[in-house]
Amino acid sequence: MHLNTSLLTRRWQELPPGRMRELQLQRLRHFLRTRVLPFSSHYRSLFAEDGIDPSAIRTADDLAALPTTSKSDLLGPPGGAPPSRDFVLAPDPASLRRRPSTILRALLRGRDRARAALEHEYRPIFMTSTTGRSTDPVPFFYTGHDLDNLALTGRRLMEICRSDPAFRHLNLFPFAPHLAFWQAHYAGIGFNTFTLGTGGGRAMGTSGNVRLLGKVDPDALIGMPTFIYHVLQEAAEGGLHCTKIKRIVLGGEKAPAGIRRKLRSLCAELGSPEVDVMATYGFTEAKAAWPECPAPAGAETGGYHLYPDLGIVEVVDPDSGRPVAEGEPGEIVYTPLDSRGSVVLRYRTGDLISGGISYEPCPHCRRRVPRLLGRISRVSDVRRLKIDKVKGTLVNFNELEHVLDDMDEIGAWQIEIRKRNDDPLECDLLVVHLNVARRVGRERIAGEVRRRIRAATELSPNDIQFHDAGTLRSMHGVGRELKEQKVVDHRPAGAPAIPLTPNHH
Ligand SMILES: [Zn+2]
Cα of 126 from ligand 1 centre, angstroms: 31
Instruction: Print the domain residue range for 400.
Output: 382-501
Q: How many domains does the chain have?
A: 1
Rounded to the nearest whole angstrom, what is the distance from the C-alpha of residue 252 to the centroid of ligand 1?
20
221/247 Cα distance (integer angstroms)? 6
With bands split at pLDDT 50, 70 and 90, how would you rate the model's confidence at 341? very high
Domain contains 7: no
Sheet of strand 347-353, all strands in order from the earlier edge strand to the far edge: 311-316, 330-336, 347-353, 376-378
| Distance set, CA 206 to CA 153, 233, 235, 245, 247 (Å) | 29, 10, 9, 18, 20
State in Å: Cα 301 to ligand 1 middle: 8
CA 57 to ligand 1 centroid distance, Å: 30
Stretch 49-54: mean pLDDT:
95
Which pLDDT does position 132 carry in this prediction?
60
Nearest of 190, 57, 184, 145 to residue 338 by alpha carbon: 145
What mean pLDDT is predicted for residues 198-227? Answer: 96
| Residue 69 within any structural domain of the chain | no
Instruction: Say how many Å lie between the CA of residue 3 and the centre of ligand 1.
Output: 10
Distance, CA of 348 to CA of 294 (rounded, Å): 29
pLDDT digits (tens, 9 = 90+) for 406-461: 888 898 999 999 998 888 888 899 999 999 977 778 999 999 999 999 998 888 89
In a domain, 92, yes or no: no
Residue 474 belongs to a domain: yes
The 10s digit of each residue's pLDDT in 93-130 is: 777 777 777 777 777 788 888 889 899 999 999 999 98
For residue 460, being part of any structural domain is answered with: yes
Say how many Å lie between the CA of residue 16 and the centre of ligand 1: 17
> Ligand 1 centre from 8 Cα, in Å?
14
Sheet containing 487-489: order of strands: 463-466, 428-436, 410-419, 487-489
Q: Give 394-416 pLDDT, tens digit per residue.
A: 888 888 888 898 888 898 999 99
Does 83 reside within a domain? no
Q: How far is the CA of 162 from the centre of ligand 1 (A)?
A: 10
Q: What's the 302 CA to ligand 1 centre distance in angstroms?
A: 5
Q: Which of 467, 357, 176 is nearest to 185 (CA)?
A: 176
Q: With respect to residue 391, please indicate whether it lies within any of the assigned structural domains.
A: yes
Q: How far is the CA of 349 from the centre of ligand 1 (A)?
A: 23
Read off the CATH number of the domain in which 424 is found.
3.30.300.30
Sign of the C-alpha dihedral computed for residues 349, 345, 323 and 295 taken in this order: positive
* Residue 11 included in any domain: no
Distance 294 CA to ligand 1 centre (A): 7
476-484 mean pLDDT: 85
pLDDT, one tens digit per residue, over 348-400 is 999 999 999 999 999 999 999 999 999 998 877 777 788 776 667 788 888 88
Query: What does the mean pLDDT of the chain come to?
Result: 89
Report every protein residue that has its C-beta within 5 angstroms of ion ligand 1. 293, 302, 362, 364-365
